[in-house]
């Protein structure tokens, strides 16, 4: 076993406490109502009210900060940039339907960064800012299920969306957000660095000191999911949940580029149902620090926890594969066997014969679904060494190891395999003849 044995000293180092977020909402003096004071209208999302909300945020920030309340109703806006010392309090009866612009693809409803980041550079970060539901433990809703989906290719025909994007922000909170997705090609929330040359010398160039809790989604794409971290420091995640979709808590940090990577990340209570996995970690090319996560549950998912190797793409790392720090701790993992897990065509060759016999085709989502494959899957090889412990399960065969340690497997032609099983008759023609360009080989 290559797993690290935790001594008391090691445990003290690896357990990350609550993030350094300090709530400043009670320190502000200004309180405004977006309907009464800024003319927003609950018009069932008939009009784009982005300008009204943006003007309110900027005005309150310019006056030193305050809290802004959005009453119950259905509204439409998009690409809202939060600003320092502003706390947006949203009624649990609010439904936000992002306004769709022809030129916007992948835009966030909310941006936690300065709109003038590229011009302001180091001074462009925002701080002491939050979006929260008006009642603790409740949720407001962001609904982009109205976005048309070209389901054949799993890509939106004209638009895509995400709930929020965090970049150059310090001391922030996002709480009580429910996202109704439509299998869009983005995670609901994303954490990325600035990519301006030399930004790693700045005071704040990536999401720092944040708390994200009570955040959930439904119907996310199997290739995406709820929260995606490419960069971040001192971030705390609590009570994350995804149903009927992708990955709940995803730390695959390659897209952060030279300035990507995460450190001092902690998570508690991560849940996934009928999805790919509750938690995935893959450093890609990035150098990452410590991550701890506990109380991870998966119901009818491919796996509960999935760990991937780092690699060298010949550009960012100068021959050194990406990794997470040794001693990253994943504990209290529980998986319940089911047969509604999305099965990617690239993993078909990894399935046992009995699993292949239980595959079925979901007409609504155009996904291949089937049985849970593993409980916890560690594909890190020698690139880094997570510690996965206290793993339990229900309904799995006794032959399946609680933690399967196996290096990443090569892909094969899924069509040649599925032709021998009953699901072949269920598949639409585009899946029977479709093919993808082979990816370049990566150095692990």
* Higher-confidence position of 105 and 321: 321
User: How far, in Å, CA of 191 to CA of 249, rounded?
Assistant: 12
* Whether pLDDT at 160 is above 60: yes
* Residue 437 pLDDT: 41
The C-alpha atoms of residue 410 and residue 423 are separated, in whole angstroms, by 23
Q: Read off the pLDDT band of 354 (50, 70, 90).
A: very high
Find the largest Cα–Cα distance for the chain: 69
Torsion angle (degrees, nearest 10) of CA 346, 350, 351, 356: 40
Res 254: pLDDT: 80
Query: What residues have CB less than 8 Å from 429, skipping those under 6 apart?
Result: none
DSSP code, position 144: -
Structure letter (DSSP) for residue 337:
-
* pLDDT given for residue 4 in this prediction: 34
Alpha helices per DSSP H over 69-163: 117-120
What is the residue-averaged pLDDT of the chain? 87
pLDDT at 406 over 80: no
When pLDDT is averaged across residues 171-195 and rounded to a whole number, the result is: 94
| Range name among 115-129, 223-237, 264-278, 399-413 with the lowest pLDDT average | 115-129
Query: E strands along 58-98, which residues?
Result: 66-70, 73-75, 80-81, 86-90, 94-96
Full DSSP string of 18-38: S------GGG--EEEEHHHHH
CB 279 within 8 A of CB 247: yes
Sorting pLDDT into bands at 50, 70 and 90, what band is 6?
Answer: very low
pLDDT range class, residue 409, cuts 50, 70, 90: low
Residue scoring higher pLDDT (179 or 16): 179
Task: Say yes or no to pLDDT of 155 above 70.
Answer: no
* Model pLDDT for residues 29-73, shown as the tens digit of each residue: 899 999 999 999 999 999 999 999 999 999 999 999 999 999 999
More confident residue, 3 or 368: 368
Please check the confidence at residue 126 and state whether its pLDDT lies above 80.
yes
Please name the residues in contact with 89: beta carbons below 8 A apart, sequence gap of 6 or more. Answer: 67, 68, 69, 70, 132, 133, 134
Q: Compute φ and ψ for 311, nearest 5 degrees.
A: -150, 170
Q: What pLDDT was estimated at residue 282? A: 94
> What was the pLDDT predicted at 101?
67
Q: Which residue has the higher pLDDT, 437 or 212?
A: 212
Confidence of residue 5 (pLDDT cuts 50, 70, 90): very low
The strand pairing partners of 305, in sequence order, are 279, 376
Q: How far apart are CA 311 and CA 440, in angstroms?
A: 12
Identify whether the C-beta of residue 432 lies closer than 8 Å to the C-beta of residue 426: no
Convert the pLDDT of each residue in 307-353 to its tens digit: 999 887 666 545 678 999 989 999 999 999 999 999 988 889 889 99
Per cent of the chain over pLDDT 70 is: 85
Tens digit of pLDDT for each residue in 238-250?
999 999 989 999 9
Q: State residue 8's pLDDT score.
A: 28
Cα(423)–Cα(348) distance, integer angstroms: 12
- Residue 432 burial (10 A CB sphere; 0-12, 13-18, 19+): exposed
Task: Name the pLDDT band for 223 (thresholds 50, 70, 90).
Answer: confident
Among residues of the chain, what percentage have pLDDT more than 90? 68
pLDDT at 153: 43
pLDDT of residue 119: 52
Listed range (171-185, 187-201, 398-412) with the worst mean pLDDT:
398-412
Instruction: State residue 15's pLDDT score.
Output: 37
With 50 as the cut, is the pLDDT of residue 215 above it?
yes
Could you give the angle at the alpha carbon of 77 between the alpha carbons of 91 and 56, nearest 5°?
70
User: Assign residue 300 a region: left if phi > 0, alpha if psi is -120 to 50, beta otherwise?
Assistant: left
Model confidence band, residue 159 (pLDDT cutoffs 50, 70, 90): low
Q: Is the pLDDT of residue 19 over 70?
A: no
CA distance 123 to 113: 11
* Cα–Cα distance, 439 to 299 (Å, whole number): 31
Q: Bridge-partner residues for 376, per DSSP?
A: 305, 403
**What DSSP string describes 383-428?**
S---EEEEEEEES--TTS-SEEE-PPPPP--HHHHHTTSGGGGTS-
Quote the CA–CA distance of 252 and 258 in Å, as a whole number.
14
CA distances to 115, 211, 378 from 182, in Å: 27, 26, 30
How high is the pLDDT of residue 411?
A: 72
> What are the phi and psi torsion angles at 57 (to 5°)?
-60, -45
CA dihedral sign, ordered 48, 245, 165, 142: positive
Q: What is the model's pLDDT at position 319?
A: 66
Contacts of 100 (CB under 8 A, 6+ apart): 78, 147, 158, 159, 161
Q: Name the most confidently modeled range: 79-88, 110-119, 316-325.
A: 79-88
Where would I find the beta strands (DSSP E) of 134-273? 140-143, 149-150, 155-156, 161-166, 169-180, 189-191, 208-218, 225-229, 231-243, 247-252, 261-273
The domains located in the chain, with CATH, are 20-275 (2.160.20.10), 341-368+409-437 (no CATH)
d(C-alpha 420, C-alpha 309), whole Å:
32
Q: What integer pLDDT is reported at residue 321 of this predicted model?
A: 84
Tens-digit pLDDT profile for residues 280-313:
999 988 999 999 999 999 999 999 999 999 887 6
Helix (H, G, I), strand (E, B) or coil at 81: strand
**Average pLDDT of the segment spanning 357-376:** 93
Q: What does the pLDDT read at residue 161?
A: 82
């Amino acid at each position: 076993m290559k797993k690290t044995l935790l001594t008391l000293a090691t445990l003290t180092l690896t357990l990350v406490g609550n993030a350094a977020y300090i709530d400043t909402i009670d320190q502000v003096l200004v309180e405004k109502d977006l309907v009464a004071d800024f003319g927003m209208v609950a018009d069932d999302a008939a009009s784009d009210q982005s300008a009204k909300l943006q003007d309110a945020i900027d005005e309150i920030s310019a006056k030193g900060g305050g809290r802004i309340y959005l009453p119950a109703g259905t509204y439409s806006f998009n690409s809202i940039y939060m600003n320092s010392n502003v706390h947006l309090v949203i009624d649990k009866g609010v439904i936000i339907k992002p306004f769709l612009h022809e030129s916007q693809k992948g835009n966030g409803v909310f941006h936690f960064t300065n709109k003038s980041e590229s011009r302001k550079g180091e001074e462009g970060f925002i701080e002491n800012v939050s979006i929260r539901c008006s009642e603790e433990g409740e949720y407001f809703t962001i609904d982009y299920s109205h976005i048309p989906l070209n389901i054949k290719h799993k890509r939106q025909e004209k638009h895509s969306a995400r709930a929020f994007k965090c970049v150059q922000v310090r001391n922030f909170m996002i709480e009580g957000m429910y996202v109704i997705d439509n299998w869009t090609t983005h995670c609901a929330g994303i954490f990325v660095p600035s990519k301006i040359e030399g930004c790693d010398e700045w005071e704040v160039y990536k999401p720092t000191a944040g708390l994200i809790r009570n955040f959930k989604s439904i119907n996310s794409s199997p290739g995406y999911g709820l929260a995606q971290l490419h960069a971040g420091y001192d971030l705390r995640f609590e009570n994350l949940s995804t149903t009927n979709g992708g990955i709940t808590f995803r730390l695959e940090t390659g897209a952060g580029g030279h300035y990507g990577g995460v450190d001092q990340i902690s998570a508690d209570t991560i849940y996934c149902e009928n999805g790919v996995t509750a938690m995935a970690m893959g450093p890609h090319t990035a150098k990452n620090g410590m991550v701890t996560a506990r109380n991870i549950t998966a119901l009818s998912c491919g796996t509960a926890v999935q760990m991937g190797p780092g690699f060298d793409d010949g550009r960012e790392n100068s021959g050194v594969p990406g990794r997470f720090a040794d001693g990253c701790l994943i504990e209290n993992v529980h998986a319940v066997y089911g047969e509604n897990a999305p099965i990617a065509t690239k993993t078909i060759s990894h399935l046992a014969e009995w699993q292949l016999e239980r595959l079925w085709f979901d007409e609504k989502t155009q996904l291949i679904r089937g049985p849970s494959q593993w409980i916890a899957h560690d594909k890190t090889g020698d690139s880094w060494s997570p510690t996965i412990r206290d793993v339990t399960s229900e309904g799995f065969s006794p032959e399946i190891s609680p933690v399967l340690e196996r290096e990443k497997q090569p892909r094969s032609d899924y069509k040649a395999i599925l032709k021998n099983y009953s699901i072949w008759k269920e598949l639409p023609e585009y899946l029977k003849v479709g093919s993808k360009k082979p990816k370049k080989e990566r150095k692990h």
